Amino acid sequence: MGAGRPVTAGGPGRGTIRFVDPATAGGKAREIFDAVLRREAKVFGATAVSNIWRCMAHAPGYLEASWNRSRALMQRGAFTPLERELIATAVSAANGCHY
């Protein structure tokens, strides 16, 4: 999807969110995008910021809070970050999450 293009999040009755383009993001959003991409590249081999982070960047305070929560829950402790993500994915699947 191109930068700024509306993306329908599901189907009838679902909202439309414009993703923030990491190339044009500034301030706190840019700082967090850089940190997210460093982590996702290291753990998953990602080459771009995930859409979930791009959606949250419209509210930099929310983006920062979500990043801090992710760091607290998903990057510290006995499990590796990959194991934590796999557990989160399994829980999401069990709960019928579509994202």
Per-residue pLDDT tens digits of the chain, which is 99 residues long: 444 545 455 555 556 888 999 999 999 999 999 999 998 898 889 999 999 999 999 999 999 999 999 888 877 788 887 888 889 889 999 999 876
Q: Note whether 82 and 43 are within 8 A (CB).
A: yes
Q: Are 33 and 22 in contact (CB under 8 A)?
A: yes
How many Å apart are CA 40 and CA 56, to the nearest integer? 16
Q: How many of the other CB atoms lie within 10 Å of CB of 39?
A: 17
Q: Any idea where the domains of the chain sit in the sequence?
A: 24-94
| Residue 30, SS3 per DSSP | helix
Q: What is the pTM of this model?
A: 0.69
Closest CA to 54 of 67, 38, 73: 67
Task: Quote the tokens at residue 99.
Answer: 């994202």
